[in-house]
């Protein structure tokens, strides 16, 4: 059986007990991160603006990556879920480029438009797979 390791930044450890899921699972040198949303450590949705919400989601992705010893540069695949995808996409792309460096081989990416996420006012969720250096 392949060894799996729980990866959870300190501020997300309560999620393991509360919701019975891992913020991320490390298998070998791969990190499978659960979708991160625009919320703070107390599970409050960031609803001041769409930009603040998307930035918070990316910051949460970064916290999960860092807990595993990885960074945004190590992302090999991402899936994003968007409430009102077409309205979000231009701003999401702009913000994504702040976090994901432009390289000859960018991460594989699938963007999916949806009607709602887990909690009211959540607008975007970012799920990644990273290769841990």
Q: How confident is the model at residue 2 (pLDDT cuts 50, 70, 90)?
A: confident
- The mean per-residue pLDDT over the stretch 11-30 comes to 92
pLDDT in tens, 76-94: 999 999 999 999 999 999 9
The predicted model scores a pTM of 0.94
Give the whole-angstrom CA distance, residue 56 versus residue 50. Answer: 10
DSSP 53-96: HHHHHHHHHHHHHHHTT--GGGEEEEEEEEETHHHHHHHHHHHH
In this predicted model, which residue has the larger pLDDT, 24 or 16?
24
SS3 128: strand
- State residue 1's pLDDT score: 58
H-run or E-run covering 104: none
Which residues are 24's β-sheet partners?
Answer: 7, 33
CA 87-57-26 angle, to 5 degrees, is 130
């Amino acid at each position: 059986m392949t060894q799996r390791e729980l990866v959870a930044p300190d501020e997300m450890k309560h999620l393991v007990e509360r919701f019975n899921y891992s913020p991320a699972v490390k298998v070998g040198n791969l990190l499978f991160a659960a979708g991160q949303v625009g919320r703070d450590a107390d599970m409050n949705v960031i609803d001041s603006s769409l930009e603040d919400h998307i930035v918070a989601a990316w910051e949460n992705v970064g916290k999960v990556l860092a807990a595993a010893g990885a960074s945004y540069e190590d992302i090999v695949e991402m899936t994003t879920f968007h409430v009102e995808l077409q309205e979000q996409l231009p701003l999401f792309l702009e913000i994504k480029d702040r976090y994901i460096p432009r390289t000859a081989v960018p991460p594989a990416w699938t963007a999916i438009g949806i009607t709602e996420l887990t909690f009211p006012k959540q607008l975007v969720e970012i799920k990644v797979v990273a290769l841990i250096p």
